[in-house]
Amino acid sequence: MTTARDVMHAGAQCIGADQSLLDAAKMMREMEVGALPICGADQKLKGMVTDRDIVIRCLATGEDPARMTAMDLAGQLHCVRAADSMDTVLTKMEQHQIRRIPVIDNDRLVGMISEADLCKGHREGGRLTDQQIIEFMDSVYAQR
């Protein structure tokens, strides 16, 4: 059985819950990613912030990204456990129409799964079937 740990991108970095959105944007640029998990002082996952969140919910509303914190935009958190099957991961991503999902183990962030990771998992070693990829794409993109 293929698990989240088999497909995830390990080494994900958190933005601190109290760090500014400006800090988050700079981290995203440096890491070449479009989303960051948010962790609290206890290093536990608290939420996610995306580049789109920063643009739509901060900049477009006239807010100052240097004054708003990552936690201000955290929203509802969806994550999976490292031992979860890929069917569980895909179902959760499809249900919530999300393109990236944090992976936790013992309540700590251990990685992220993005669309790119799903494609890589499909291409390398057949960890995901053609049908799983088609259903994911249909759920996340075709139903918008």
How much is the pLDDT for 123?
A: 66
Reading across the β-sheet that carries 108-114, which strands appear in turn?
9-10, 108-114, 100-105, 80-81
Domain CATH number, residue 116:
3.10.580.10
How much is the pLDDT for 115?
A: 86
How much is the pLDDT for 134?
A: 81
How far apart, in whole angstroms, are the C-alpha atoms of residue 93 and residue 141? Answer: 12
Domain count, the chain: 1
How much is the pLDDT for 125?
A: 64
Which residue ranges in the chain fall short of pLDDT 70? 121-127, 143-144
Task: Look at strands 108-114 and 100-105 and give their pairing.
Answer: antiparallel
How much is the pLDDT for 38?
A: 96
Q: Could you tell me the residue range of the domain that residue 70 belongs to?
A: 4-142
How far apart, in whole angstroms, are the C-alpha atoms of residue 43 and residue 40? Answer: 5
How much is the pLDDT for 122?
A: 66
